[in-house]
């Protein structure tokens, strides 16, 4: 053999792409006739085996790197958890030595659990970090509240717990709901499920607070009526925005009108259900008395009337624009 195999292997890519000089081409061809090894390499190059091997190798390297990073973050997470154990152990010893009982130790333990769920969990979990942090932090917060409540011999646990869950739900339930609703059927109704979950906890909070303060029938009637009235509007918002088939302008117009009506008629609706039992029943939407400023009830009623009028005006314009755009689009489609 005239030429070294390595020289030929260096030339092979240029030869395959047909961009080498005729001299190099002759050298490669002459060598390939004599050398079985290089012939094999050349064949592999032309049928794409080398490229496939490279892709496999690349993926392997990437996967290795990912695992490496994960291992590092897990190590950091475990180390942090270890550091958090120090105050727990110190408190355990102190509590036993001084109090001869484990009482306030559990407060420290659950407090550290809460810290850990906020700091350690993001390092250890690989996927859906936010959801796991929210779930574990909520769980340990409830444990902490329960421990404090038992330690102080309080009876406020359910009030605090339902309030915390409702507050956390308002912000994070969209993420948690989409985490749990991955099935085809549930996937399309995430908005409704989120709002239903939040509503459920609002009512639980109302009930728990009512029981805690020993609210009489007036508490139940007012809290339930006012809340339900407001929540029906929220539900209408979700249903119209999510399932309405009309364009955005029409939806916006309808929602503006609905909101105006809901605000403007709120006192009248409340009077209808609970008015006779409350001392100050406000006057209904009433223009017969004119725009009096001295009489607060009449003034209020007129303000509400204007809210309704303005919202119908603005909502009407938005809906009109939407219907116009809809017609234009249909014409274009034809
Ligand atoms: Zn060779």
CA of 3 to the centre of ligand 1 (A): 8
Q: How far is the CA of 9 from the centre of ligand 1 (A)?
A: 7
Ligand 1 centroid – CA 58 distance (Å):
27
Count of CB atoms situated within 10 Å of the CB of 134: 21
Contact present, 156 and 149 (Cβ < 8 Å):
yes
> What pLDDT does 239 receive?
92
- Determine the distance separating the centroid of ligand 1 and the alpha carbon of 29, expressed in angstroms: 11
Model pTM above 0.75? no
Residues of the chain with pLDDT under 70: 1, 100, 275-292
User: How many Cβ atoms sit within 10 Å of the Cβ of residue 212?
Assistant: 14
Quote the ligand 1 centre to 1 CA distance (angstroms). 8
CA of residue 40 to ligand 1 center, whole Å: 9
Cα of 14 to ligand 1 centre, how many Å?
Answer: 16
Distance from the CA of 24 to the center of ligand 1, in angstroms? 14
Centre of ligand 1 from the C-alpha of residue 17, in Å: 19
> What is the C-alpha separation between 287 and 306, in angstroms, rounded?
10
Report the alpha-carbon distance of residue 259 to residue 310 in Å, rounded. 11
CA of 135 to the centre of ligand 1 (A): 63
C-alpha distances (whole Å) from 305 to each of 100, 142, 289, 291, 301 are 69, 46, 13, 11, 6
Rounded-to-integer distance, Cα 144 and Cα 112, Å: 9
- DSSP of 125-172: --S-HHHHHHHHHHHHHHHHHHHHHHHTT-S-HHHHHHHHHHHHHHHH
Dist. CA 79 → ligand 1 center (Å): 54
C-alpha 149/C-alpha 208 separation (Å) is: 16
Residue 3 CA to residue 81 CA, distance in Å, equals: 63
pLDDT mean across residues, the chain: 86
């Amino acid at each position: 053999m005239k030429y070294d195999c390595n020289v030929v292997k260096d030339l092979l890519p240029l030869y395959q792409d047909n961009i080498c000089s005729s001299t190099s081409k002759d050298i490669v061809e002459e060598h390939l006739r004599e050398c079985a090894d290089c012939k094999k390499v050349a064949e592999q190059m032309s049928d794409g085996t080398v490229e496939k091997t490279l892709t496999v190798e690349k993926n392997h390297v990437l996967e290795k790197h990912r695992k490496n990073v994960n291992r590092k973050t897990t190590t950091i997470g475990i180390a942090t958890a270890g550091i958090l154990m120090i105050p727990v152990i110190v408190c355990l010893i102190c509590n036993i030595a001084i109090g001869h009982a484990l009482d306030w130790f559990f407060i420290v333990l659950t407090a550290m659990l809460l810290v850990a769920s906020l700091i350690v969990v993001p390092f250890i979990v690989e996927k859906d970090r936010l959801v796991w942090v929210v779930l574990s932090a909520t769980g340990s917060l409830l444990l902490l509240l329960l421990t404090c409540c038992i330690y102080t011999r309080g009876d406020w646990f359910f009030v605090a717990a339902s309030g915390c869950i409702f507050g956390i739900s308002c912000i994070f339930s969209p993420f948690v709901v989409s985490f749990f609703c991955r099935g085809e059927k549930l996937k399309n109704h995430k908005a409704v499920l989120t709002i239903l979950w939040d509503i459920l906890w609002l009512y639980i909070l109302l009930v728990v607070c009512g029981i805690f303060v020993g609210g009489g029938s007036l508490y139940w009637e007012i809290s339930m009526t006012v809340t339900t009235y407001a929540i029906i509007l929220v539900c209408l918002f979700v249903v119209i925005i999510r399932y309405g088939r009309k364009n955005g302008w029409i939806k916006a117009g309808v929602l503006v009108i609905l909101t105006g009506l809901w605000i403007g008629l709120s006192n009248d609706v409340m009077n209808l259900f609970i008015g006779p039992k409350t001392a100050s029943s406000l006057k209904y939407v009433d223009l017969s008395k004119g725009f009096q400023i001295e009489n607060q009830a009449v003034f209020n009623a007129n303000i509400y009337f204007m809210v309704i009028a303005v919202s119908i005006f603005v909502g009407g314009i938005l809906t009109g624009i939407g219907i116009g755009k809809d017609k234009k689009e249909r014409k274009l489609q034809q």
